[in-house]
A and B are shown apart, each in its own frame.
Chain A
């Protein structure tokens, strides 16, 4: 009779398959980034770098203003996240707690408008930003990115606000707090995890966006990381080892974020997830 591996082993194998599926492409890029150009030319290809080198990483910094791309990505992501979370939190709170007429209709309208396809929006946004002379500035991206993450942030925050007992606020208001005071002193501290989750999702969305960044901020000095790296053409060919090093540099910040906040990210995505 065939012997089946034990349940414990099967569990381990299942986990390994999921982990390898997720990590392998990034690991492969990491290996590539540590190889020398001559090793990459050798056939058949090697898996482990024969003589690991950081030369490609120094090339990344020398050849292209990658720090500048990173700075642009960072500033745009932070500003749009702050804007998005603030606006979404106010809206979510109004929808959950304040006696607005037809909150579900308002929510549907808000989601439908915010989910307008980016590709269709890109065309008029380009001409609007051009008229406002905002092309190739951070602001051309900050405002659209805030809208990009509004659906997910609003849904996440709505589910957090719904979990706060109404009585807590009422108690604070009886004690002489205003509505805003109650919001600030009672609701916000309690929803800090929700605000934080929404913020992480908005940050990752902004950090990853490509189409608008390519369209609205194409000049080298204003490029974000995804655009900077994708348009990272060598003079004659696509310099794979350097591209790989650049990819690793760009991926590390998001890896740290999702590693540190993994439970929050998963929770936020599944309670209000709006991203492919």
Chain B
């Protein structure tokens, strides 16, 4: 329908575009221009350790190298493992916390702060705190094991236990955001549904499966997607707990990219890895956006 815009509408549109301009200027400077640089660098040999070299264009050489890079595949595998374990883990723990928190407490703040504090802590601090928990001699975990008569474990210096310890820290830290999202979802479920089920003689367990879970599905999906997007970028917690060790056993993609570029200053190859990483997460982000598509001008409800 081709309607002519009134002059008021036209001036509004102009103002609207002007108001959007700062956002897009910021995005261009901080994201788009760097992405352009990133893609260009990924096709070149660019080592800051050899600044006397020109930065020759080498086509897909870096990409070919990536395909045969065993450490990259290991890091990808580790990252996938973190995703597989910590995404459902954090959402499940978050659901548990949300169910516990969804009670008519007379004093609300201790529970609310209990949910908020892990969210508000920097990831890297959560990593440090759990590193202290899993410390061999003075760590709380090993002392608890000794106390109940079990032998202590070298948590952070063996592959399996280190992975386990890191997952525990990630799940603890990230479950609180899931819990907040799920708690908000729980509070939108009408009480009358439970009352009706009660009248029909449904047990609490049946109510959970037949009412709570289906009604909570959209919130659970949002929580799962968010967690997945952040999980594939896992960096801070393993960095603080093991720095990727022992060997490269707990190294994630993000850590490998960081080591390649910042520690070894190989920007060409590091850029290639970053491009591959971006492609993987773009796919996940687009799934997220499809789920939350909304029309901002349409008003709510």
Contacts and interface: CB of A to CB of B under 8 A. Distances in A.
A229 to B, nearest CB: 7
A118 B233 contact: yes
A210 B123 contact: yes
B16 A266 contact: no
A15 B98 CA distance: 10
Given A15-B100, A126-B261, A226 B125 contact: yes
A99 B233 contact: no
B180 A270 contact: yes
B164 interface: no
A243 B19 CA distance: 45
Nearest to B46: A127
A91 B177 CA distance: 26
Contacts of A163: 300
A123 B274 contact: yes
A15 B12 CA distance: 50
Interface residues of B, number: 105
Interface in A95-133: 95-101, 103-104, 106-108, 110-128
A183 B227 CA distance: 36
Interface in A133-171: 143-144, 146-147, 150, 154, 158-159, 162-163
Contacts of B254: 119, 211
A69 interface: no
B60 interface: no
A82 interface: no
B20 interface: yes
A98 B13 contact: yes
Q: Interface SS of chain B: helix, strand, loop or mixed?
A: helix
B297 A146 contact: no
Given A107-B296, A247-B125, A150 B23 contact: yes
A197 to B, nearest CB: 13
B289 A112 contact: yes
B92 interface: no
Interface in B88-122: 97, 100-101, 103-105, 109-122
A207 to B, nearest CB: 7
Interface stretch (B30-38, B65-73, B195-203, B205-213): B30-38
Nearest to B286: A112
Contacts of A117: 232-233, 277-278, 281
A143 B29 contact: yes
A230 B128 CA distance: 8
Contacts of A176: none
A113 B31 contact: yes
A99 B41 contact: no
Given A208-B122, A270-B181, A273-B177, A22 B113 contact: yes
Nearest to B16: A98
A270 B297 CA distance: 20
Nearest to A150: B23
Contacts of A81: none
Contacts of A118: 233
Interface string B243-267: 0000000000110011001100001
Given A45-B138, A266-B115, A275-B226, 16 more contacts: A43-B137, A45-B143, A91-B19, A98-B12, A100-B20, A117-B277, A120-B278, A121-B31, A126-B267, A230-B128, A251-B121, A255-B117, A262-B112, A266-B184, A269-B177, A275-B177
Q: 5 closest A-B pairs (Cβ-Cβ)?
A: A98-B16, A276-B230, A22-B114, A124-B34, A19-B114
Interface of B: 5, 9, 11-13, 15-17, 19-20, 22-24, 26-27, 29-35, 37-38, 41, 97, 100-101, 103-105, 109-126, 128-130, 132-133, 135, 137-138, 140, 143, 146-147, 172, 174, 176-177, 180-181, 183-184, 226-227, 229-233, 235-236, 239-240, 253-254, 257-258, 261-262, 267, 270-271, 274-275, 277-278, 281-282, 285-286, 289, 293-297, 299-300
14 contacts: A25-B126, A26-B117, A94-B17, A98-B15, A104-B296, A113-B27, A120-B277, A124-B271, A225-B122, A229-B125, A258-B113, A266-B112, A270-B183, A276-B227
